């Protein structure tokens, strides 16, 4: 197993290098940081602009490949370079990553657990009222774009707040700036901020997982081993929980690792609607500001996240399913 993982890791390292290099080349060719300086009022002298760009390895007069080598050399040493106006890319990304993690962990965990449960219940009583209801709900959620769903949640939350006359839900940002009070107060404030974006993320996740899990469940429900478990004397509920769900969970768990990895950079819309300054929002912002090094760094990070997630899903699969464990 260890050897297998090691080989996988080597493979992934190559893939990450290729993905990151291509992303850098694309960003460096398509984005134009010079225009940021030239657009300033008053416009700085050309020599100053050149000097600034050269300092941050953003000068479009240097050949692309040379810039790439400089950038790649830095990345290998752990230096992600600077933004177009001189901030350290690594620092900013670190902050942003913290925000994103605080945002998505709860949403993804909640969404997957609830989704699996909903799907399992729906599968067990196929064509029952719960199955029909959850199917319709899942397709409605899947059909509504995240941006619409998030804004609808905000409208509802404000309506609830107005009717109750209390600020139950806070709709923007991660925490109220300059909040007075102790740690408990601060935590409550954060929870109030977190509720809506978590709900918005979880809704989508539940919709996907419930459909997925329902089908997996239907596959194993008819399986002979459920019959065997019941022939042993297990009650139907126990047989379904211990034998059917355990077996049907394998794909969902591996899928979980994958979603988590891709959401690290992929929760852009949720982040911008609720005013959380996370990774996804940063990616869009840095493209808009012609920030070559940030775009390259985020792409590199995204590749890393997805591949680590797929590694994690491989490991989880092997842990959960003895049939794929090979010597």
In the complex, the residues that contact another protein under the rule CB under 8 A are 4, 7, 11, 222-225, 227-236, 243, 246-247, 250, 320-323
CB of 6 to another protein, least distance (A): 10
Token look-up 């949640």 returns 153
Of 114, 131, 129, the C-alpha closest to 256 is 114
Nearer residue to another protein within complex by CB, 79 or 321? 321
Burial class (CB in 10 A: 0-12, 13-18, 19+), 120: buried
CB of 236 to another protein, least distance (A): 6
Nearer residue to another protein within complex by CB, 40 or 227? 227
Distance CA 48, CA 155 (A): 48
Q: Which two tokens stand for residue 159?
A: 């309506």
> C-alpha angle with apex 194: 163 to 111, nearest 5 degrees?
105
Nearer residue to another protein within complex by CB, 180 or 222? 222
Nearer residue to another protein within complex by CB, 181 or 233? 233
Of 274, 260, 264, 282, the C-alpha closest to 150 is 274
CB of 262 to another protein, least distance (A): 23
Nearer residue to another protein within complex by CB, 143 or 324? 324
Q: How many helices (H) and strands (E) does the chain have?
A: 14, 0
What are residue 82's DSSP bridge partners?
A: 88
Nearer residue to another protein within complex by CB, 205 or 313? 313
CB of 215 to another protein, least distance (A): 18
CB of 31 to another protein, least distance (A): 36
Distance of alpha carbon 96 from the chain centroid? 13
Nearer residue to another protein within complex by CB, 59 or 219? 219
CB of 130 to another protein, least distance (A): 15
CB 254 within 8 A of CB 317: yes
Nearer residue to another protein within complex by CB, 61 or 323? 323
**Quick check: helix, strand or coil at residue 167?**
coil
Phi/psi of residue 82, nearest 5 degrees: -120, 160
CB of 244 to another protein, least distance (A): 9
Distance CA 327, CA 307 (A): 23
CB of 125 to another protein, least distance (A): 9
Distance CA 93, CA 294 (A): 8
Phi/psi of residue 228, nearest 5 degrees: -60, -45
């Amino acid at each position: 197993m260890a050897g297998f993982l090691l080989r996988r890791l080597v493979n992934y390292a190559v893939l990450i290098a290729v993905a990151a290099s291509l992303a850098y080349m694309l960003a460096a060719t398509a984005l134009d940081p010079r225009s940021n300086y030239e657009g300033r009022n008053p416009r700085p002298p050309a020599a100053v602009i050149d000097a600034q760009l050269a300092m941050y390895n953003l000068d479009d007069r240097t050949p692309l490949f040379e810039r790439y080598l400089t950038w790649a050399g830095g990345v290998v040493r752990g230096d992600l370079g600077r933004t177009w106006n001189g901030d350290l890319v690594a620092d900013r990304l670190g902050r942003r990553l913290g925000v994103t993690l605080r945002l998505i962990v709860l949403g993804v965990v909640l969404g997957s657990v609830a989704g699996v449960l909903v799907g399992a219940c729906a599968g067990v009583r196929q064509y029952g009222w719960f199955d029909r209801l959850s199917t319709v709900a899942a397709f409605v959620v899947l059909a509504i774009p995240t941006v619409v769903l998030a804004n609808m949640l905000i409208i509802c939350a404000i309506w609830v707040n107005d009717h109750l006359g209390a600020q139950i839900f806070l709709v923007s940002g991660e925490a109220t700036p300059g909040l007075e009070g102790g740690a408990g107060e601060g935590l409550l404030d954060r929870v109030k901020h977190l509720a809506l974006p978590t709900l918005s993320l979880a809704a989508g996740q539940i919709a996907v997982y419930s459909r997925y899990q329902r089908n997996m469940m239907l596959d194993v429900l008819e399986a002979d081993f459920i019959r065997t478990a019941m022939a042993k004397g297990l009650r139907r509920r126990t047989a379904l929980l211990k034998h059917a769900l355990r077996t049907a969970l394998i794909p969902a768990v591996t899928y979980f690792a994958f979603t988590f990895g891709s959401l690290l950079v992929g929760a852009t819309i949720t982040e911008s609607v609720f005013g959380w300054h996370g990774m996804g929002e940063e990616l869009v912002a840095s493209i808009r500001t012609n920030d070559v090094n940030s775009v390259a760094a985020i792409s590199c990070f995204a590749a890393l996240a997805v591949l680590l997630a797929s590694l994690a899903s491989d490991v989880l699969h092997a842990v959960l399913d003895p049939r794929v464990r090979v010597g």
